[in-house]
Structure 1
Amino acid sequence: MQFLSSINEQISEVLGPMGLIIIVGVVGLMLVVATVIMMLRQPEDPLAKLKRASTIGPGDDGKTKLRQAGGNQQLEKFAKFLEPEDVAELSAKQLMLRQAGYQGRDAVRVFYFAQMALGILGLIAGVIYVNFLGGGEGLTTQKTMMYTVGPGGIGYFLPKYWVTRRVEARKEEITRGFPDALDMMLVCVEAGQSLDQCIVRVSNELRASYKALADEFEVVAYEMKAGKDKITVLNDMGERCGVQDVSSFVTVLVQSAAFGTSISDALRVYAAEMRDKRVMRAEEAANKLPTKMTLATMMLTVPPLLIILVGPSVHGITELGNMSGPGGQ
């Protein structure tokens, strides 16, 4: 025990009171780096290599495909660490990233890798700030731990916050642009174009104004060209957008295709409904504006008004009290 106490005292003299924690953190980071290097240097599975080579045809650009496969392979080695084991949780995370606009197959792995990397970088920044830049001088142990671990926690939750904001912004953009997209689809269908052609045309026309909605229509067009079932493609679009108006529109198209009714009639009725809904949404925002402005008006108007009305009276009473005091007599 005396030997351990002497070692602890020597460490405290050299690195300060948090010296032992610094040494443990450095050793942990070294173990993490060593584990990552060992996993990167693992030999490739021969069966996976043969499968990857078989997907490259004789007329394809082999170098490009090998580079793409190599990039995915780096994340494939960390799949057990960068993907949740639960299938339901994995599907929910994939849906959330798709709603945020990240359609890649490695989006989930990149998300968890960003969380891990930013968390480690934040933890390293906190340790450097507290122990080497003098930020921990005069702080209690609780505040020292908070300043050390806090940046790591912020870095860990930053990707989730970013994706959540992206989902909300993208849903808002799709909601604002959907009535215009329906009007354009109605014009294209009444001009004699098929549903596939009008989706492609609407996607090209909307890209300048509503990029998120144009991307969704482009995905639908590519999936239809690939031969995927039209009803499945539309249902996937409704789930991927996460907007109630789009889901209702998909239901209308599916029912129109199932019962054999005219798509132009369904689009005309639903487009008129969406225009009315947009007007009601604007009226709702306008009706909320006076309520939101009430608090700001009170904060900016009432205090100056009170000062103007009550200030002279208070000043007069103060002067009268000074005159009637012992000094005034």
Structure 2
Amino acid sequence: MEFLSPINEFLVDQLGPLGPLIVVGLLGLFMVLLTIPMLLNQPEDPLKKLQKNIRQESAPKPRKERLRQGNRNEQLEKFAHFLEPQNEEELSAIQLKLRQAGYQSKDAVRFFHFAQFALGIAGLILGVVYVFLLGAGEDMTSQQLTMYVLGPGAVGYMLPKYWVTRRVASRKEAITMGFPDALDMLLVCVEAGQSLDQSIVRVAKETRAACPDLAEELEIVAYEMKAGKDKDRVLRDFGTRCGVEDVSSFVTVLIQSATFGTSIADALRVYSSEMRDKRVMRAEEAANKLPTKMTLATMMLTVPPLLVILVGPSVKGISEIGNMGN
């Protein structure tokens, strides 16, 4: 191992105390980039290929129309062992979060982890290019080198998670704002004599322009009911996908109404009235918060100029008197 000492000293002299670590990280990155094409071009497992052919032969001929959720991506299928969590609970959690963000595809989890992996690698490459190839790391310390090399990679890795989180929050807000109007429309349809399934289809069609996120969820509910799925299960999945408290309460009202045999129209009438009152309360809460926010902004924007106007002449006069005394 003595032959490694000169190499270690050379790396420390050129790159600082963390030089060997940086070189090892670059070699690992190079090996990962070298492995990706090899994995993409690896042959398909004969057993899986045989099973796929058997399923294709036994399956009925597909219709011309494509379903909204098609088959899984075959390229991503090869990397399912590291593009999907192996723990069932973690997989269910990330699937739920992506569905709450509006990504209903079967490959959503794989695309999410692939985006994290790709953006992380891209960030590391940008950091290495900026520090070493552009010469920006000549006067940097070892900590600064580490930050500029690993920082973009960490940012790229966390960017998809941040995007999904913001998307979930904005989608929940949009559903919360559009749900009272959709509920009123659903009540009108039910009282007009339509069934609950027909009312949901009509409301989904009418609310697409105002709230496309809620309309998409209602369309999923309508399709699942048409497919013969249990109505209680469909409604519970609807509340889970939305992740909004008002929708969950609405689902509970419908399930209890069907369980006890009460009128759905009466339940919807009472609940829609509560939703209207709740919307008014939200508006009043936002209006009550506004004076506090305006007061803080007004103080920050008006007090400093006012102090300058009032105190400025006095300070100038005192300074002139001091200069005259000198």
TM norm structure 1: 0.89
Kindly state the Cα deviation for residue 190 of structure 1 after the two structures are TM-superposed. 1.1
Query: Aligned equivalents of 2:78 and 2:61: distance in 1?
Result: 29
Task: State the shift of 1:308 in Å.
Answer: 1.8
Q: Contact conserved, 1:22 with 1:127, CA < 8 A, in 2?
A: no
In the alignment, which residue of structure 1 is the partner of 2:150?
Answer: 149
Identify the residue that residue 77 of structure 1 maps to in structure 2.
78
Note the C-alpha offset of 1:304.
Answer: 1.5
SS in 2 for 1:188: helix
What is the distance in 2 between the residues matched to 1:225 and 1:203? 14
Identify the residue that residue 135 of structure 1 maps to in structure 2. Answer: 136
Q: Does the C-alpha gap of structure 1 residues 40 and 61 become closer, same or farther in structure 2, counting only changes over 3 Å?
A: farther
**Structure 1 Cα separation of the partners of residues 11 and 301 of structure 2:** 58
What's 1:306 paired with?
Answer: 307
CA displacement at 1:108 relative to structure 2? 1.1
| Cα offset, 1:258, TM superposition | 0.5
1:31 aligned residue? 31
Q: State the Cα distance separating 1:139 from its structure 2 match.
A: 0.9
CA–CA distance in 2 between the matches of 1:110 and 1:305? 55
Distance in 2 (CA, whole Å) between partners of 1:11 and 1:231 is 66
Residues 1:94 and 2:90 aligned together:
no
Residue of structure 1 in register with 2:44 after alignment: 44
- Structure 1 position 314, deviation (Å): 2.1
Native 8 Å contact 1:204 1:214 kept in 2: yes
- Within a 5 Å distance, the mapping from 1:150-165 to structure 2 comes to 150-165=151-166
Residue in 2 that maps onto 1:226? 227
Q: Deviations over 1:10-31 (max 9, x none)?
A: 6689x76687556434432332
Question: What is the correspondence of 1:164-183 to structure 2 with a 5 Å cutoff?
Answer: 164-183=165-184
**Once the 2 structures are TM-superposed, how far is the Cα of residue 51 of structure 1 from its aligned partner?**
3.3
Distance 2:120 2:230 in 1: 42
Q: Distance in 1 between matches of 2:161 and 2:267?
A: 39
1:207-266: CA deviations, max 9, x gaps? 111111001001001100110000100000001100000000000000010011111111
Q: Which amino acid in structure 2 is aligned with residue 305 of structure 1?
A: L
SS in structure 2 at match of 1:93: helix
The 1:305/1:26 distance shift into structure 2, 3 A limit, reads closer
Unpaired runs of at least 5, structure 2: none
Q: Which residue does 1:242 correspond to in 2?
A: 243
2: CA distance between counterparts of 1:172 and 1:142?
41
Deviation of 1:149 after TM superposition, in Å, equals 0.4
Match of 2:290 in 1: 289
Greater mean alpha carbon deviation, residues 298-307 or residues 2-11: 2-11
- What one-letter code is carried by the residue in structure 1 that aligns with 2:30? M
Q: 1:34 to 1:314 in 2, by over 3 A?
A: closer
Counterpart amino acid of residue 269 in structure 2: R
The answer as to whether partners of 1:179 and 1:275 remain within 8 angstroms in 2 is yes
CA deviation vs aligned residue, 1:274-298 (integer Å, no higher than 9, x gap) = 1111111011001000111111111
Counterpart-to-counterpart distance in 1, 2:261 and 2:45: 52
Kindly report which structure 2 residues correspond to 1:176-325, keeping only aligned pairs within 5 A, or say none: 176-323=177-324, 325=325
Output the amino acid matched with 2:36: V
Cα pair distance change 1:23/1:313, threshold 3 Å: closer
Contact 1:220 1:234 in 2 (8 A): yes
Q: Secondary structure at the match of 2:73?
A: helix
Match of 1:60 in 2: 62
- Separation in structure 2 between the aligned mates of residue 309 and residue 34 of structure 1, nearest angstrom: 69
What is the CA-CA distance between 1:72 and the residue it aligns to?
2.2
The answer as to whether partners of 1:119 and 1:155 remain within 8 angstroms in 2 is: yes
Q: Which runs of 5+ in 1 are unaligned?
A: none
| 2: CA distance, partners of 1:6 / 1:44 | 46
User: Structure 1 pair 27/317, CA: closer, same or farther in 2 (3 Å)?
Assistant: closer
Q: Which amino acid aligns with 2:242?
A: C
1:261, 1:61 → 2: CA distance? Answer: 41
- Residue 59 of structure 1 aligns with an amino acid whose one-letter code is K
CA contact (8 A) 1:186 1:264 kept: yes
In the alignment, the residues of structure 1 paired with residue 167 and residue 50 of structure 2 have an alpha-carbon distance, to the nearest angstrom, of: 39
